[in-house]
Every structure is written in C-alpha cells, then in structure tokens.
Amino acid sequence: MSDQIPPDAKIRINDAAKAAFSFQDYSPRAPIDGVQLVELRRFNDDGGAITELGRLAAGMHAQLPGFEVKQVNYSEMEPGVVKAFHMHHRQTDVWYVPPCDKLLLVLHDCRAGSKTEGATMRFVLGDGKDRLVRIPPGVAHGAANIGRATGRIIYMVDVQFSVTPGECDEGRLPWDFLGAEIWDIVKG
C-alpha cells in the first residue's frame, strides 16, 4: 500500500486541527498615508555589488518627489536591541538597511485627523532586499535588530538635527507604546 496521495485528492483533517487551521495572509497590508517604499536595483558582478541609494539634484532626491536631503546619518544596532519609538513634527526620514542585515521596522500614524490615524505598519528591512522607506512627520517609528549581527541603518532627513531646545524636532514615545508584543517575532 502506498502512502502517496494523488495531487488532486483532498485529505480530511481531524476536528482539532480543523478548528485551529487557517491560511496565512500574504496580501500587502494597507499603507500609512505618506509612507513610501522604493525598491532599489542591486548590480552584482563577480567582484561584488553596488546599490544606488538615490540621485540628488540640488539636494532633491529623484525617486522621492518633494524630499530635499539636508543630512545623511549612519546608525548601528546590536542584535536583539529595540530602539523605539521616536517621532518628528517637521522632519521626514528615509531609511535604508543593507540587504545583509535584518531589522523589524514598526511605524504608527500619530497624526490627528490623518486618513490613516492610528494605523500601524510592521515589516522587515534588509533581509536580502534593497529598498528605501520614507517616513513622514507624525509617524512614530522604531526598529528591532532581529538579525544575528550588528544591524546598520543609513538614513537621510530633510531637517538638520539640533539639540538646542526649541529647535530639536525629535521626540520620544515609550518602546512599548503599542504593547511589548509588537516586537515579538511572529511564530507559525
């Protein structure tokens, strides 16, 4: 007797498994208004790779209409670290995480009256992909390094950083503002 089941056959599952069974949802999540993902091209050859992060003309980023780069920063996160949440009143961030790193990015729309007020986005940056993510003012953002090595972020902003009171545009929300479980790895 063969244990092979024909590909067109439908098997029956027991009641306990049937009650717990579901299909994973692979459809894209509704974006937060103003958040933009830009897929980048990576050019590989036998000696390495290059990814163009953007072309600038007088500070204006060609792939991000209306975004003028005023400062470029580099940040590192140790494995397991969560840096969250921070938010800006005027500043737009554009993040890039190298494809060899793996960061969980969580965004939450805190803008009163926004079409997507209260919406949350949660997705992975890096992990083999080259892309930019544009984070508008009023959208709280934070990241967790879910990779096994130091994670890196290169980010561009349209407002220069200042520590001077009255000029500083960066504020904080608690890391667990959306509940500690927001940072949990989804199992299953």
CATH code for the domain of 66: 2.60.120.10
Query: Which residue has tokens 């999540």?
Result: 29
**Residue 77: closest CA among 26, 25, 145, 123:** 145
pLDDT at position 1: 52
Residue 185 lies in a domain: no
Domain count, the chain: 1
Q: Which domain holds residue 152?
A: 30-177
Contacts of 24 (CB under 8 A, 6+ apart): 188
pLDDT at position 3: 67
pLDDT at position 51: 93
pLDDT at position 134: 98
Q: What is the pLDDT along the chain (188 residues), one digit of tens a residue?
A: 556 767 777 778 888 888 888 887 777 778 899 999 999 999 989 999 999 999 999 999 999 999 999 999 999 999 999 999 999 999 999 999 999 999 999 999 999 999 999 999 999 999 999 999 999 999 999 999 999 999 999 999 999 999 888 888 999 999 999 999 999 998 77
Residue 7 lies in a domain: no
Tell me the H-state helices in 10-146: 15-20
pLDDT at position 2: 59
Residue 162 lies in a domain: yes
pLDDT at position 22: 81
61 by Cβ neighbours in 10 Å (0-12 / 13-18 / 19+) ranks as buried
SS3 75: strand
Residue 6 lies in a domain: no
* Under 8 Å between Cβ of 139 and 109: yes
pLDDT at position 14: 84
Residue 103 lies in a domain: yes
Residue 188 lies in a domain: no
Residue 10 lies in a domain: no
pLDDT at position 165: 86
pLDDT at position 4: 73
pLDDT at position 178: 97
Residue 4 lies in a domain: no
